[in-house]
Amino acid sequence: MADPKKLFAETLFGLYPDFLPTQGLYLDLEGNGSGSENILSFYWPALPSAGRFSWMKRSESTSIGYAEIKTHIDSIGASRAKWIVVYSAGQESPDERERLIGLLGQDPFPGSSWINLLHVTQQSTAIKSSIREHRNVWYAKDQVRVRYSLEALEWEFGIERPVNIRSHSYSYRDLDGGCGHMEVLATAQRSVSESATEEEEQSLRDYCEADVKNMFQVAYASEQLLFTRSERRNRRMVRT
C-alpha cells in the first residue's frame, strides 16, 4: 500500500513542480482579517536554524505596515524568496494573500509565487483518507467531521506539538479527546495590549513559530520522500 505522505508529496510537486522548499518563505497571519491583523509570522529556511523564525506584532500605538514589512523582509534576506507558502482557505489562490494585501494595501511579494498547502491537502485523496482514518486531531465542536487542519497534517508527518501550543479549537486523540490550550486570538490580543503574562507571551511565540516551521518541515520531508539526494541536488542546480 502506497505511503499517504509520499502521495501527498506527489500531489505537492505535481501542482508546483519547480518548488524548492528551502527557497520558500513560510508565512502566517493571526487576526480577524479585513485589514485587522495582530501578528505576522515568518520562517525563512535560508538562515541558520536559530534565526529562521521571526514575527511582527501590532501594538496599541503601531500597526503592521508595508514599509515595516519590507524593511524586515530585506533584513532577513527573504526578499529573494521565490515562493510564499501558507496554509489557508481559498484553494489555489489563498485567502492569506488577500488578507496580507488588505492589511498593507499592496502585495509585498509581487515577484513570488504563492503555494497553499491546504489546497495540496485537499487535492490529495490519500492524505485526506489517512487523516480521517487516524483521527488524531478533529474540530472540537464537530464530533463527526474531521477537518484537514495544519495540525492534522503535522500528525501525519510525525510532528507533535506540546499541549500548550495546540489549538483550543481542536480535540486530540492522545489527550483522550481533550482540547489544546492555545486560544491564539485572545492571547494575541492580550499581547497587543501588553496584558499577557510572560508564560502566555512565550506560548504565543512558540505557537506562531510552530505554524510556519511545521509547514516547512512538511514541505521539506515531502521533497525527501519523492526525490533522491542527487535528484534534489539537480533540482537546485537547475533552478539556481
CATH fold label, 4-224: Nucleotidyltransferase; domain 5 (3.30.420)
pLDDT computed for residue 90 by the predictor: 87
Query: SS3 sequence, 102-124?
Result: HHHCCCCCCCCEEEEHHHHHHHC
pLDDT computed for residue 143 by the predictor: 65
| b (16+ CB within 10 A) / e for 165-185 | bbbebbbbeeeeeebbebbbe
| Structure-block grid coordinates of residue 139 | 474540530
pLDDT level of residue 147 (50, 70, 90 thresholds): confident
Q: Which of 48-57, 117-126, 144-153 has the lowest mean pLDDT?
A: 144-153
The predicted model gives 28-39 an average pLDDT of 82
Residue pLDDT, tens place only, 193-238: 899 999 999 999 999 999 999 999 999 999 999 999 999 999 988 7
| Structure-block grid coordinates of residue 238 | 537547475
pLDDT computed for residue 60 by the predictor: 79
Residue pLDDT, tens place only, 87-129: 999 888 899 999 999 999 999 999 999 999 999 999 999 999 9
Q: What is the mean pLDDT of the chain?
A: 91
Domain residue ranges in the chain = 4-224
CB 85 within 8 A of CB 117: yes
The predicted model gives 36-52 an average pLDDT of 94
Residue pLDDT, tens place only, 58-95: 887 778 899 999 999 999 999 999 999 999 998 888 99
pTM for this structure? 0.93
pLDDT computed for residue 170 by the predictor: 87
